[in-house]
Structure 1
Amino acid sequence: MSHQTGITASEELRKLFLKAREGKIRSIKISIFDEKLTSDATEKVHSSWDKDYDVTVLPHLVDAQPCYVLYRLDSRNENGYQWLFLAYSPDESPVREKMLYAATRATVKTEFGLVHIKDEMFGTSKREMSFAGYERHLHARAGPGPMTDTEEELARLKLEEMAYHPVDTRHETLKGVAFPISREALDSMVDLREGRINYIQLSIDLQRETINLEKAANVPQPEFGREVPEDHARYHLLNFRHTHEGDFLDSIVFLYSMPGYTCPIKERMLYSSCKAPLLDTIEQYVQLPLARKVEVDSPSEVTEEFLYNEIHPKEHAHKMAFAKPKGPPNRGARRITKNSKCLTS
């Protein structure tokens, strides 16, 4: 399922968003109803944001029912109060609903206004979405050391620039041509990094010269190859789960599929030129570690065995198979044996 669902906010919800920015509302619960984003409930500000958190967020979370929650923090910037975006998707929810809510998440943030959202968190249980869970989220995100507000803003602006800068500002690098990447594509990479999906397919719009999201979903591993088109080039990112030497591993693989010369020359050239800058974006900006980068020309190549062998190649197998045995020691000088036919001729 693509992250383009066509679902938008109702007129009532948009009016509520404007009212919420005045600062008197602490939390807003948002659900999808009749293919529209609607508000189920709101909570007013009672105390400080940390004391209000559990009493105003947890009542919004109903077992087996996904939803979004916008939570107003006490911090402000030049645009007003900053907000926390919470995406709740319990494991027991139907798969179709979970995918629908995952695919509409970017739309909710855009409708509310990205400039107002300071942080976001995803969870599958009330425990994960509690205030203690949010503190764990902050600690995990901090990593080696917490980022300052300025550093967080710079990191966000880099992603925003890649997503939104005009097509005519594309630039050439020593490695290739860097095209703008759509917001949906960047969001899907984050979802893959966080384990919410296991497959992404990206395409190049040859006319607009942008990199767009074709598909983001959970695909059964044996069916990865079926996602590879036979008539167009594509970029793929997939999470290959497997065991190796007793360890269970999640390995992100970048797959570049190019079906030979059935593609037009321009398509082959653009996909080849954009590959390296795209990889830089994936690894450096999105911070998505890639275990392997592979190029294929046929869907039939993409099997679980193929992916395993690419990630764990048997580097020395051919050397062992073709090693030449040593001769016996002290075998003396080499003798020349003449052909008897040559002697009689």
Structure 2
Amino acid sequence: MSHQTGIKANEELLSFFSSCRNGTVRALSITIEDEALQLGEWKPARGSWEDDYDELVLPLLKEKQPCFILYRLDSEAHGGYEWLLLSWSPDDSPIREKMLYASTKATLRKEFGATQIKDEVFGTVQEDINLDGYRHHRKSASAPVPLTEREEEMKEIKKNEVGVDIGVDTKHQTMAGIAFPILPDALDAIKKFTEGRLQYVQLKIDTSAEEIQLDNTATTLLVAELPKRVPDSAARYHLYRFDHNYEGDFYHSVLFIYSMPGYACPIRERMLYSSSVNPMTDLLENGLDLVIAKKLQIGEGSELTEEYLLDEIHPKQNLHRPKFAKPKGPANRGAKRLTKAPKEGSGSADS
């Protein structure tokens, strides 16, 4: 885990992030100055993202000076455009600058909106960052990782074992839980959700067939309508994109909600849903590249208020800690006894 610097975007940059949503901005550079992320240069869209790429990105790269570049693609997901995050860190730039930018990238992702960032590229020379470099990056990312001879042998052994391969069409049991196969219509709905075409998806486990099925979906769903979707006597998994404004910024926060109405469900159902949570969220995040802002477990739908969701996604920080109050002494202990030192020269009464 990288160490965080505490550096955050200034007000101008946060305001500019909001204006980026309309699609007019193609590229912008971000620098760290005066202990804050600040807006550098920005360029409007002219043609397609591929046509604009080298013409707009390369002039933003400065010698010996790291920076971040956000570059807008033409594709959309999660209710907005997708972006590339380019981290420029020249070899001849000061080490302190390199470390500062590296440890601030996570903050930039969060403040811009991590769900909108499709990919990240790191470069020390222009050939890493230009369009050919990005294409090479994508090709490398999609290629399988080379295996050692021993790993190749193990792979062949596993192919011949029953129930070892892991995927959305297989069922397996591990220490992390139980993964059930997901039916095609449910998987299709999840993919539409990741693309921003659905705002809500509800999934259920068929305990007799031991498979995950699609229950219902919604293209748009207000927060006030969300509690009505939660069954009173059956467990469910819910995917919900919580579109909301917070402190001047607009967020598309993806929520994974596991609803379990306690003992209203049979024991077998409770066990299967509980054991399948981790494999299910792992598939969503690592298999389908869905960025989940928060995972929630609730007992009933009435818990899903807008105030509750905001508190979960943007927890309030107590900046004014109360000072430790010295406890009072025991009651009725009487007045304090005062002792004074004897005056100089005073003698004993027996002298």
Q: Which has the higher helix share?
A: 1
Structure number with bigger Rg: 2
TM, length-normalised to structure 1: 0.49
TM, length-normalised to structure 2: 0.48
